[in-house]
Structure formats: structure tokens, C-alpha cells
Amino acid sequence: MHTVILACLAAVAVAAPQQYHNYDGPDYRHIAILRDEREDRGDGNFRYEFETEHGIHVNAVGTPGSKGQSNIQGFYRFPVAGSRAEVTYVADELGYRPQSPLIPTPHPLPAHAQEQIRVAEEQRRQGITWD
């Protein structure tokens, strides 16, 4: 009986969380901002850049857009799995367009599907239609 109780206590101890992250409690540690630069010219042109001690780095440059929007080009970097991830982006009248090897891309179409698309486009150019 004592062995069963000890085994249960050991199982509870092993299953208990090893670290508790309470971001509102006494274990909370502020992350130092190493650099924080901001510039707003008041005419729609702006730029900002900041970097933290944990390796987060953000940079953006904005200009007025042709349709009243802000056009922004920039990047953000952050640590992930022992390396550094980076996303570059453009945001303008065409929307937000990020680029990064982290962003999943669809598998390439197989050769027969590409050929079917090519044939369909050629038939469309020739005026062939279907109901």
C-alpha cells in the first residue's frame, strides 16, 4: 500500500509544471529596450525602429499613399528555435505583402495540371467557350 501511495505522489510530482510563467506576478521581468527611435514629420512620412534585449528588432518606414493610406516598408526579426526569423513586408494600396521563408507556400502544381491550364488559356484566346 505504501508503494502505491509513493508511486502516486511521484507521478503527481513529475506531472506538475516545471516552470510557471505568471506575467502579472512577482516572477515578471521587464525586457530591456536597447534602441527606440521614432520620427514623425507630420506630413505622412515617418519611420521607427526598436530592438529588445531578447533579439526582437522592428523597422518601418512610411510615406503617404496615393489613396490616402500609409505606404509602409519594413521588417521584423525575432528569435525562434535557436535561430533568428525575419519577415520583410510592404503594406500599401495593394495590401499587406510579407515575405519570409517562414511563410508556408503551396506545393507546385504537377506538370499535367500546368499543361491543362496552358491548354485552357490557349483555347480561351482562340474564343472557344463552354456552357
The pLDDT tens digits of the residues spanning 27-52 come to 667 889 999 999 999 999 999 999 99
Which strand ranges, in their side-by-side order, compose the sheet holding 57-64?
Answer: 33-40, 46-52, 57-64, 70-80, 83-92, 95-99
In a domain, 110, yes or no: no
In a domain, 57, yes or no: yes
In this prediction, residue 27 carries a pLDDT of 63
User: Is this structure's pTM higher than 0.85?
Assistant: no
Question: pLDDT-derived band of residue 18, with 50, 70 and 90 as boundaries?
Answer: very low
**Domain span at 87:** 33-94
- The C-alpha cell that represents 44 in the structure block: 505622412
CA dist 32 and 51 (Å) reads 9
Give the number of domains in the chain: 1
Residue type, 66: S
Determine how many CB atoms are found less than 10 A away from the CB of residue 62: 20
In a domain, 39, yes or no: yes
In a domain, 4, yes or no: no
In a domain, 49, yes or no: yes
In a domain, 6, yes or no: no
Question: pLDDT-derived band of residue 6, with 50, 70 and 90 as boundaries?
Answer: very low
Q: Higher model confidence: residue 98 or residue 21?
A: 98
In this prediction, residue 57 carries a pLDDT of 96
For residue 89, report the phi and psi dihedrals to the nearest 5 degrees.
Answer: -155, 160
In a domain, 102, yes or no: no
In a domain, 58, yes or no: yes
In this prediction, residue 129 carries a pLDDT of 86
67-123 pLDDT tens trace: 888 999 999 999 988 889 999 999 999 999 999 998 888 888 899 999 999 999 999
